[in-house]
């Protein structure tokens, strides 16, 4: 039995010396040490030996099994180390190569125009305020001289949250909130998104941005409004930009006026240098930009101001409208499509 073990040990060592892959190693392990392996079968036969031979033969068999296990494990570790070293050599990083420069983002064109407009008006003494996007009926309509039966409500295609709350249709409700909590003089600026239930077209969007501005004090006149807006337009669109006021109607201002600027494309000439009619202003020489007027006395009464003592003006402009005029963009939907080909131009 001892000679058999020695011969089997030499055979196993010789077989292991020829191994070159993990599959070869596993095949040898199963063939000799598996449940039906030759060494395993031999060890099972130790129990049939005479009692005096069992301890010696059993010890020799266990020693052989340990040597085989250790050799198999040693071969596996060696091969794994070689593979790891090879992988490190092949995947080595050359730190002298130039790095990959990430894509840098930049400010959205609407934000550029919004920040520029706010900067101009803050420079004129206005302070920036914000308000809720979901407004109650009182602040969005009633306090702005638009009662429930007023036809001006038809001008607002409204998203209703419930019977008494809406997605704000303009930033004017913040005007009411500011005046409810402050005494004049007030020079306030309210930028932010507003919501209208409108069909998406090249000129209309269900969500867009407005800037509401208003000033309340003693002896505020329409001339003050004209001076502020004329200066704003010239700083926003250029010193040679002309301003025109046209009578209009807004329920929360009286008198009210639409404000036009000379066309930013043809500079008011109505025709392009080529002689063709200007398509942007439709050969009129003017572009509508915002609405304005003196704050209606009913609005003052709704916030507890005495219209005999104070007066004020208000104006509201669309940020998308200004951006389209400033950059010659003809489709408002481009601002919200996240098309990098469009956005990279700015």
Write the pLDDT tens digit of every residue in 118-154. Answer: 999 999 999 999 999 999 999 999 999 988 877 766 6
Q: Residue 3: is its pLDDT beyond 80?
A: no
Q: Report pLDDT for 119.
A: 96
Label residue 165 exposed, middle or buried (CB < 10 Å: 0-12, 13-18, 19+). middle
Given this model, what pLDDT does residue 267 score?
79
What Rg do the C-alpha atoms of the chain give, in angstroms? Answer: 42
Residue ranges of domains in the chain, CATH in brackets: 2-90 (no CATH), 109-343 (3.30.930.10)
| Residue whose pair of structure tokens reads 């301003």 in the numeric block | 243
pTM over 0.75: no
Give percent of the chain with pLDDT exceeding 90.
44
The 10s digit of each residue's pLDDT in 307-318 is 999 999 999 999
Cβ atoms of residues 31 and 37 within 8 Å: yes
pLDDT digits (tens, 9 = 90+) for 187-209: 999 999 999 888 888 888 889 99
Mean pLDDT of the chain: 87
Write out 42-92 in H/E/C secondary structure: HHHHHHHCCCCCHHHHHHHHHHHHHHHHHHHHHHHHHHHHHHHHHHHHHCC
């Amino acid at each position: 039995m001892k000679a058999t073990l020695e011969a089997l040990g030499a055979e196993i060592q010789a077989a292991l010396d020829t191994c070159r892959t993990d599959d070869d190693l596993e095949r040898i392990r199963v063939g000799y040490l598996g449940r039906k392996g030759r060494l395993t079968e031999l060890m099972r036969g130790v129990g049939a030996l005479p009692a005096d031979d069992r301890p010696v033969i059993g010890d020799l068999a266990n020693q052989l099994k340990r040597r085989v296990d250790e050799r198999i494990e040693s071969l596996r570790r060696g091969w794994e180390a070689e593979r790891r070293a090879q992988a490190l050599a092949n995947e080595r990083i050359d730190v002298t190569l130039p790095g990959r420069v990430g894509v840098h983002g930049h400010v959205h064109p609407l934000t550029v125009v919004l920040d520029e407009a706010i900067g101009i008006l803050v420079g004129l003494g206005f302070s920036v305020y914000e308000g809720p996007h979901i407004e109650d009926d009182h602040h969005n309509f009633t306090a702005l001289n638009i009662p429930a039966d007023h036809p001006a409500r038809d001008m607002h295609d409204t998203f209703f949250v419930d019977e008494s709350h809406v997605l704000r249709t303009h930033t004017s409700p913040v005007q009411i909130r500011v005046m409810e909590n402050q005494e004049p003089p007030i020079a306030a600026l309210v930028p932010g998104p507003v919501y209208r239930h409108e069909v998406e077209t090249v000129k209309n969007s269900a969500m867009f941005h407005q800037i509401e501005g208003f000033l309340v004090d003693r002896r505020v006149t329409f001339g003050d409004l004209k001076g502020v807006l004329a200066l704003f337009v010239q700083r926003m669109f250029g010193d040679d930009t002309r301003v025109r006021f046209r009578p209009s109607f807004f329920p929360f201002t009286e008198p009210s006026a639409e404000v036009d600027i000379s066309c930013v494309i043809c500079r008011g000439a109505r025709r392009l240098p080529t002689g063709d009619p200007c398509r942007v202003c439709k050969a009129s020489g003017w572009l509508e930009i915002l609405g304005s007027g003196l704050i209606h006395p009913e609005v003052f009464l709704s916030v507890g101001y005495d219209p005999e003592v104070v007066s004020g003006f208000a104006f509201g402009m669309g940020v998308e409208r200004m951006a389209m005029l400033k950059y010659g963009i003809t489709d408002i939907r481009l601002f919200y499509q996240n098309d990098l080909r469009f956005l990279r131009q700015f």
